[in-house]
Amino acid sequence: MVVRTWRGWTRAEDADRYVEYVRETGLKAYRETPGNRGAWILRRTVGDRCEFVTVSVWDSLDDIRGFAGDEIERAVFYPEDDAFLVERELTVDHWELWD
């Protein structure tokens, strides 16, 4: 299995609204893609910013292609991300998951 992670930052006052937005866009899309085993949002506030990490678990890199397209290292963004994000990673990380 493969874990996909991405990080971005919002203003602290936008954090609750951004969580809802990510649930309606990215997490929903992850979970609806065949081969996805689950998706979560991690969040922490540091000063006037809130850091977000999305974590999703997949059966394979090919399944991730079903969500992200052929350039699986490139982050996927949605129309309102620009209104929320003050900083973002443009790429994602993929990790092998072992028990």
Range of the domain at 41: 2-96
Main-chain dihedrals φ then ψ at residue 78, nearest 5 degrees: -120, 165
Counting as low any pLDDT under 70, the low residues of the chain are: none
Confidence at residue 11, expressed as pLDDT on a 0 to 100 scale = 98
Q: What pLDDT sits at residue 80?
A: 96
The count of domains in the chain is 1
Where does residue 6 fall: left (phi above 0), alpha (psi -120 to 50 degrees), or beta otherwise? beta
CB 3 within 8 A of CB 95: yes
Distance CA 1, CA 98 (A): 8
* The pLDDT of residue 99: 87
Summarised one tens digit per residue, pLDDT across range 23-35 is 999 999 999 999 9
CATH of the domain at 27: 3.30.70.100
